[in-house]
Amino acid sequence: MEGKSTLALCRQPPYGNALAREGLEAVLAAAAMDLVPDLLFLSDGVFQLLDNQSPAEIHQKSLQRNLQALPMFGIEQIFVCGRSLIERGISADQITIPGVEVRQVQDTGKLIAAYDTVLSF
Amino acid sequence: MTLHIVSKSPYGCNALTECLATFAEGDVLLLIEDGVYALTDHKWEAAPAGSVYCLRADAEARGIAIPEKVEGIDDTRWVELCTRHNPIVSWYK
């Protein structure tokens, strides 16, 4: 696997189904096995990055702790689709992961095309 | 007077659009679960003033602000809406 680049697409909103959480868990597990993927948040997946989430009342754990673990696992190339943000009225200052720079990309097709392997969650 | 319950994000699913297309006078709209993401857009404003509700816990869980024209409600009030409206239509796809 040496030298193979992997990108994980995060396309699901955080609490309505399990895919957002399970996608992040798969990414963290891969990173722990020395396969460190880059991440691209797009479509409703950008909602995972919104600040001020407080899901205690719907009996779920906040996804933000998983996001905060990303840099600890060496995952530091994190991208977000600029068009998805605009469509949803989300500004850059509403999306942060402590300890990592989340970089906006406009041409997601070009970004994806540069990877050997792409996972989609 | 129908209670329409929408539980999916309007960006990934047509549920809200299809629901609003069937909206009749006296109907009300309740956004739950990922349906609360509709509050980041203006589509819900097609429903008459005062007829749009959302589950406050679902909005707060997702970090979504509730606009002034939308009433954030709890489960008790949801049950009360169910008793006041008939039929109840769930738009979950």
Going by C-alpha positions, the residue among B51, B50, B58 that lies closest to residue B4 is B51
Q: Walk me through the domains of chain B, giving residue ranges and CATH numbers.
A: 3-91 (3.40.1260.10)
Instruction: Show which of residues 70-89 on chain B sit within 8 Å of chain A, judged by CB atoms.
Output: none
The pTM (predicted TM-score) of the whole model is 0.89
Instruction: Please write the tens of the pLDDT for every residue from B53-80.
Output: 999 999 999 999 999 999 999 999 999 9
Nearest-by-CA chain B residue for A54:
B61
The answer to ipTM > 0.90 is: no
CATH class of A6-120: alpha beta
Q: What pLDDT was estimated at residue A99?
A: 86
Show pLDDT as tens, one digit a residue, over chain A (121 residues). 456 899 999 999 999 999 999 999 999 999 999 999 999 999 999 999 999 999 999 999 999 999 999 999 999 999 999 999 999 999 999 998 888 999 999 999 999 999 999 999 9
Work out the minimum CA distance from A40 to partner chain B, whole angstroms. 17
Contact A43 B11 (CB under 8 A): yes
Exposed / middle / buried, residue B23 (Cβ in 10 Å: 0-12, 13-18, 19+): middle
CA distances from B20 to A36, A81, B42, B43, B52 (A): 44, 29, 12, 9, 11
Q: What pLDDT was estimated at residue A1?
A: 46
Percentage of residues in chain B with pLDDT exceeding 70?
100
Q: Judge whether B92 is closer than 8 Å to chain A, CB to CB.
A: no
